[in-house]
Structure 1
Amino acid sequence: MSYQVLARKWRPSTFREMVGQEHVLQALINALDHDRLHHAYLFTGTRGVGKTTVARILAKCLNCDTGVSSEPCGTCASCLEIAEGRCVDLIEVDAASKTKVDDTRELLENVQYAPTRARYKVYLIDEVHMLSTHSFNALLKTLEEPPPHVKFLLATTDPQKLPATILSRCLQFNLKNMLPEQIVAHLAHVLSEEMISYEDQALWLLGRAAAGSMRDALSLTDQAIAFGSGQLTEADVGTMLGTVDLRFVYQILEAVAADQPGELLQVVSQMSEHAPDFEGSLNELINLLHRVAVAQLVPDAVDNGWGDAERVTSLAATFSADDVQLLYQVAINGKRDLPMAGDPRSGFEMILLRMIAFRPQAVIDTEMNEGDFSLAADNTNIAGEVGADAAKKQYPLPDSGSASPKSLVAEAELTPSRAAVTRASSSIRVDEPQLETGRTTQSAHSLDPATSGGTSAAPGPNPGDSAPLQPAVGRLSDLAPGGWAQALEQLGLAGIVHNVASHCELRRIEGTELEFVLDQDNATLFNDGHRDKIRLALENFYGQPLTVTIAVAAVMSETPAARRQRLIEERQHQAVSAIQQDALLQQLMQHFDGELDMDSIRPLDT
């Protein structure tokens, strides 16, 4: 007997042999067992998920000689004829090749006649969405009220193309794509029965390459068996599919964690020797970052289907949660930009280098030694104050008594190089405080006995002790809920911690207890580490221990982030008003019949 491909040899013959699709099978089994049969069924789903297979099994259930049942015998004449494709009462139609209305009319001419020997005459129309509009119209009346001995089984991969009048006359079942776990388990069973040796990792490669289609998975397995001379190994299957070796993906993340761009480019060079698909490699990197994030937040939920849970857990300990989220976002954005790169490799390398370049430094570390902590705090506070002063001078906020729109336009016309002058002047103003900071730091070190010329040194703080508090920069008594936005800008916070704090509302101050409420719409990435960094910054600024609580709820007043957005909108509104009221611009528009592009208007300070 000639060889039969696995996809045909292992096609299910009963509902019990089906893999997945429980939501469809349960409805059909109950309908058959309780004799609640509809006259028309529509099966939808992507290729290879079992639409035609379910329809043929349903035809067996309807025409089995033992009676209508959800478990056909498989041995009677009707079951054998349907399985072998020679049942005269099962009319299978490929709608893609019979799209004309004449074909449909010819098909429906015999609907009125009783079946030759089976219980029901079953019409199985595959790819029904390919029928023409006139063919659908010819089918409507028969599909709505067919004779009692006729059942219609329709299958399509594109139900959106079906008229609503057809959909309303059918029971619709949507077959889902199968999970890689389901495909791998079925492939393992098939290969064991076929007595073919395999590696588990090879099956996972096939399961993922099948993209939810069991037929594709079995076809790829046939191809892999031929490629590997009767056995399936990870190396052979990876070569056949052209997938990237996952060890390169791990090495990439390890190089990013170690901040080694040279090693990173070396790994990419080794990958290039295997002619990889760089977009596929980026997808693997995105999947690995997702698994690392899961390992950080829900360690018990790490998928060990690849047998690499231990390595994923190790990577999760190497990165912070903030870093993983940032790297994931860089990879997602890079995937969008990759087609615009000069060549795939250079685009892939730029994405990886961007991961290293954009990794944020730690804002505040509770394990810092005393001298480093003092120096970092002083520099942060002074730089924050200087930056705030420079920002106020360069970008003044609008007041209720601000200049009129006309004066804003006039100022823009008279000072075309204002931005350049402002940048130059701001750089000069910042230089002097930086020199003063250096002198302050030097004097502080000279007064510190640990850094003087003496031979004795003060013992360092214990690891469990909290960092020493610095002299107060501000007074806690001056802090009020309404002044939280101004106080935040002096704390020296940055990155995601500053973003979290800017969406917080200072709800209550009682002694040294500060109660914040974080806007629930912006609390996705919030964790206890962010709260601790905010508390440390507040303690360092006010020079005393504080108790800080942050609850996630709906805010009742304006947060710093909302205030900043409001000011931006006010400046934008002023800019639009100034442009619209400019007499010269109105004359130009009227003279040249021009139109004003409102989206192109920007304030002078943006």
Structure 2
Amino acid sequence: MVIFVSSPMEHFIVSARKYRPTQFKDVVGQQAITNTLTNAIENDHLAQALLFTGPRGVGKTTCARILAKKINEDGTEKTDEDFAFNIFELDAASNNSVDDIRNLIDQVRIPPQVGTYKVYIIDEVHMLSSAAFNAFLKTLEEPPKHAIFILATTEKHKIIPTILSRCQIFDFRRITVNDIKGHLADVAKAEGIEAEDDALHIIAQKADGALRDALSIFDRVVSFSGKTMTREAVTENLNVLDYTYYFGVTDLLLSNNIPKVLVAYNEILAKGFDGHHFITGLASHFRDLLVCKNEETIALLEVGEQVKTMYFEQSQKTPTNFLIEAIELANAADLKFKTSRNQRLLVELCLLQLASVTAKGEKKKSSVNKNGASDRFVLPPSFFSNQNNTAEISGISSAEGATETSKSGVETPTDITTDIPEDFDSGTPSEGIPEKVIERPQILAERNAQKVSALSIKSIQKKQELQRELVANQPDEKNLPTENFTEDDMQTAWNDYAQRVEEEGKYNLLSHLTMGVPKLEGNLIHLEFPNSTIKVEVERAKYELLGYLRERLNNYDIDLSIEVNETAVKRYAYTTREKFEKLKEQNPLLESLRKEFDLDI
């Protein structure tokens, strides 16, 4: 009978504790501070109140412990002597009251039994209350000769100025990526772990200047990958968007391969990465490529040697103008991401624009549309490789030409220039592709006249200019028709125009035109309204109404006379729709409110 006795599992010590420095020379990335403290001890020039401030995990508490041990050494102590009886650590986060500080002051009066100094390390000192700070002031300013206070904090701005003025302040800086990577390499060598340089570099970047965080991540990855640490294992365990994605996406953008770019972005989202993280990383990738363009700025690239070679190779085949414009587009998408309602579409649109920068046959046009949109982009030929209908691609049907209004009732621009790449083979004769559709000047002028407000002197002048343009586009006065017509013909044309106004949704104007019956005297049509407000609103539509009547009745001598008769009291009841339209003119945001909550009128 064989009995297996399992040995107890060896207690694991995390690397942050196992490899905590015990001497100033072992501290990583804080040479200026450690040299100052070493010289102060050797020259007996050490202050009795020190403040260590800086980010987390950069060595504040470690330096405080090394200093506390070093000032008590006299050459007769043992190697492993830690002077535990002389070092007192106080956590201000849990001992922040006045009573805690009073107890501390009582202990300070007692001289040390072993060694020369009693060192009090107060961690997270900014957590002390205001009363505790004030109680501590006198002792901090004039402590006993055997007492030294070392205060440590990550938030110096929360400490009152009277405390700061009594301390010698040491600002610890974030540890650089190269320093962290070098320390991790030493730890990996001591642990017998084979680690790739790129793997350690990713860990160092992820730590964001904190060595303790880097060692914690290192332990986690070792638990995942074992004795061999690869870049793939690190990126998989940390869920980091690997730089290889950015290299691949950039190659696709330079080749104008929009379908594969969109597929690649979809794969990135499927792996759980955030779109905002992707677009900011892509902007940083473009910046790194731009940095590699000049040998003097390559030093600004904080990557491993292998990755630096990849950046240099891709930067040589990437045009500088592309990188500059790509950084602007990616940065714009970054700024709009949080406020966008369709964030995926925002990033995909950015990728479309990036893939269009180097498209062959692109015609650059700096234009801003009426909605304030920036320069439009041109889709490259590869995106339409499976399309055969050039009319559908250009957005304009060759049979119908330019249309003023779509089926949905939304006005579409008719002066559109279609950008078709020169090497694009659509399978149809090139003669059938309309390059530019231009409206007749009269129609264009009439449409512009409708969009001009009459609420300012400048707009009135603009309206007069448009009116002169309308007159200039009219046929010669000698050839204008002046056919006779009856009052019934005029009334029929008037009612048809009112119906047209109703179909366009101008219910407020419709109510004014149907308030009374127009009277005809020769070629002059008289209109009377009870107040000047209605008169002004009808006069805004006068030229359009007059042009319609002249064309319909084929008589260009027709004119309108709009008068106000305040004695004629006209009672008129507004419908619900007319009330809404009237309110909407005063506050256009009501329409947005109605659409947002899907309200009925």
Would the alpha carbon gap of residues 414 and 99 (structure 1) be closer, same or farther in structure 2, given more than 3 Å must change?
Answer: same
Q: How does 1:300-449 map to 2 (within 5 A)?
A: 301=298, 303=301, 305=304, 307-342=306-341, 344-357=343-356, 409-413=456-460
**Alignment match, 2:156:** 159
Q: Distance in 1 between matches of 2:455 and 2:353?
A: 40
Contact 1:119 1:149 in 2 (8 A): yes
**Alignment match, 1:178:** 175
Question: Is 1:11 matched with 2:8?
Answer: no
Contact 1:243 1:277 in 2 (8 A): no
What residue ranges of structure 1 are gaps of 5+ in the alignment?
68-72, 364-406, 427-606
Contact 2:192 2:227 in 1 (8 A): no
Query: Deviation digits for residues 315-335 of structure 1, max 9, x if unmatched?
Result: 222333232122122222322
Would the alpha carbon gap of residues 314 and 102 (structure 1) be closer, same or farther in structure 2, given more than 3 Å must change?
Answer: same
Question: Is 1:49 matched with 2:50?
Answer: no
Q: Distance in 1 between matches of 2:276 and 2:458?
A: 50
Q: Distance in 2 between matches of 1:257 and 1:420?
A: 50
Residue 189 of structure 1 and its aligned partner are, at CA, apart by: 0.7
Question: Is 1:2 matched with 2:14?
Answer: no
- Pick one of 289, 294, 297 that aligns with 1:297: 294
**Alignment match, 1:250:** 247
Would the alpha carbon gap of residues 107 and 322 (structure 1) be closer, same or farther in structure 2, given more than 3 Å must change?
Answer: same
**Alignment match, 1:238:** 235
Contact 2:52 2:171 in 1 (8 A): yes
Q: Distance in 1 between matches of 2:87 and 2:149?
A: 10
- Pick one of 93, 98, 116 that aligns with 1:96: 93
Q: How does 1:14-163 map to 2 (within 5 A)?
A: 14-66=23-75, 75-76=78-79, 80-82=81-83, 87-163=84-160
Q: Distance in 2 between matches of 1:241 and 1:417?
A: 68
Residue 263 of structure 1 and its aligned partner are, at CA, apart by: 2.3
Contact 1:6 1:222 in 2 (8 A): yes
Secondary structure of residue in 2 paired with 1:109: helix
1:348 aligned partner, one-letter code: V
Query: Deviation digits for residues 36-90 of structure 1, max 9, x if unmatched?
Result: 11011111111100000000000011112328xxxxx8x44xx6334xxxx1221
Q: Distance in 2 between matches of 1:6 and 1:299?
A: 37
Contact 1:15 1:25 in 2 (8 A): yes
Contact 2:256 2:358 in 1 (8 A): no
Would the alpha carbon gap of residues 213 and 411 (structure 1) be closer, same or farther in structure 2, given more than 3 Å must change?
Answer: closer
Contact 2:69 2:82 in 1 (8 A): no
Q: How does 1:530-541 map to 2 (within 5 A)?
A: none
Residue 299 of structure 1 and its aligned partner are, at CA, apart by: 6.0
2:143 aligned partner, one-letter code: P
Q: Distance in 1 between matches of 2:16 and 2:467?
A: 70
Q: Distance in 2 between matches of 1:269 and 1:9?
A: 43
Question: TM-score of the superposition, structure 2-length normalised?
Answer: 0.57
Contact 1:122 1:150 in 2 (8 A): yes
Residue 162 of structure 1 and its aligned partner are, at CA, apart by: 0.5
Q: Distance in 2 between matches of 1:129 and 1:167?
A: 11
Query: Deviation digits for residues 280-315 of structure 1, max 9, x if unmatched?
Result: 333332332222111113367254515123332232
Secondary structure of residue in 2 paired with 1:59: helix
Secondary structure of residue in 2 paired with 1:340: coil
Question: Is 1:190 matched with 2:199?
Answer: no
Q: Distance in 1 between matches of 2:346 and 2:96?
A: 46
Residue 420 of structure 1 and its aligned partner are, at CA, apart by: 12
Q: Distance in 1 between matches of 2:88 and 2:208?
A: 31
Query: Deviation digits for residues 72-115 of structure 1, max 9, x if unmatched?
Result: x8x44xx6334xxxx12211000000111111111111212211
Would the alpha carbon gap of residues 81 and 417 (structure 1) be closer, same or farther in structure 2, given more than 3 Å must change?
Answer: farther
Q: Distance in 2 between matches of 1:275 and 1:118?
A: 57
Q: Distance in 2 between matches of 1:339 and 1:333?
A: 11
The farther-off stretch of 288-297 and 47-56 is 288-297
Q: Which has the larger radius of gyration?
A: 2
Would the alpha carbon gap of residues 409 and 358 (structure 1) be closer, same or farther in structure 2, given more than 3 Å must change?
Answer: farther
2:459 aligned partner, one-letter code: A
Would the alpha carbon gap of residues 162 and 412 (structure 1) be closer, same or farther in structure 2, given more than 3 Å must change?
Answer: same
- Which structure has more relative contact order (CA 8 Å, sep 6+)? It is 1
**Alignment match, 1:581:** none
Secondary structure of residue in 1 paired with 2:306: coil
Contact 1:40 1:171 in 2 (8 A): yes
Secondary structure of residue in 1 paired with 2:169: strand
Contact 1:204 1:306 in 2 (8 A): no
Q: Distance in 1 between matches of 2:133 and 2:208?
A: 32
2:116 aligned partner, one-letter code: R
1:276 aligned partner, one-letter code: F
1:34 aligned partner, one-letter code: N
Q: Distance in 1 between matches of 2:123 and 2:28?
A: 21
Question: TM-score of the superposition, structure 1-length normalised?
Answer: 0.57
Would the alpha carbon gap of residues 41 and 412 (structure 1) be closer, same or farther in structure 2, given more than 3 Å must change?
Answer: same
Would the alpha carbon gap of residues 312 and 418 (structure 1) be closer, same or farther in structure 2, given more than 3 Å must change?
Answer: farther
User: Pairwise CA RMSD of aligned residues?
Assistant: 3.0
Contact 1:95 1:127 in 2 (8 A): yes
1:227 aligned partner, one-letter code: F
Secondary structure of residue in 2 paired with 1:153: strand
Secondary structure of residue in 2 paired with 1:93: strand
Q: Distance in 1 between matches of 2:39 and 2:55?
A: 25
Would the alpha carbon gap of residues 410 and 135 (structure 1) be closer, same or farther in structure 2, given more than 3 Å must change?
Answer: same
Q: Distance in 1 between matches of 2:101 and 2:122?
A: 11
Q: Distance in 1 between matches of 2:455 and 2:236?
A: 66
Q: Distance in 1 between matches of 2:65 and 2:311?
A: 44
2:256 aligned partner, one-letter code: D
Contact 2:254 2:358 in 1 (8 A): no
Query: Deviation digits for residues 516-550 of structure 1, max 9, x if unmatched?
Result: xxxxxxxxxxxxxxxxxxxxxxxxxxxxxxxxxxx
Query: Deviation digits for residues 379-410 of structure 1, max 9, x if unmatched?
Result: xxxxxxxxxxxxxxxxxxxxxxxxxxxx9943
Query: Deviation digits for residues 543-599 of structure 1, max 9, x if unmatched?
Result: xxxxxxxxxxxxxxxxxxxxxxxxxxxxxxxxxxxxxxxxxxxxxxxxxxxxxxxxx
Would the alpha carbon gap of residues 175 and 3 (structure 1) be closer, same or farther in structure 2, given more than 3 Å must change?
Answer: same
Q: Distance in 2 between matches of 1:416 and 1:120?
A: 90
Would the alpha carbon gap of residues 420 and 100 (structure 1) be closer, same or farther in structure 2, given more than 3 Å must change?
Answer: farther
Would the alpha carbon gap of residues 43 and 245 (structure 1) be closer, same or farther in structure 2, given more than 3 Å must change?
Answer: same
The farther-off stretch of 30-39 and 119-128 is 30-39
Would the alpha carbon gap of residues 416 and 8 (structure 1) be closer, same or farther in structure 2, given more than 3 Å must change?
Answer: farther
| Matched pairs, number | 371
Residue 248 of structure 1 and its aligned partner are, at CA, apart by: 1.4
Residue 230 of structure 1 and its aligned partner are, at CA, apart by: 3.8
Identity of aligned residues (%): 32
Residue 341 of structure 1 and its aligned partner are, at CA, apart by: 3.2
Would the alpha carbon gap of residues 220 and 165 (structure 1) be closer, same or farther in structure 2, given more than 3 Å must change?
Answer: same
Secondary structure of residue in 1 paired with 2:144: coil
1:80 aligned partner, one-letter code: E
What residue ranges of structure 2 are gaps of 5+ in the alignment?
1-9, 365-453, 474-601
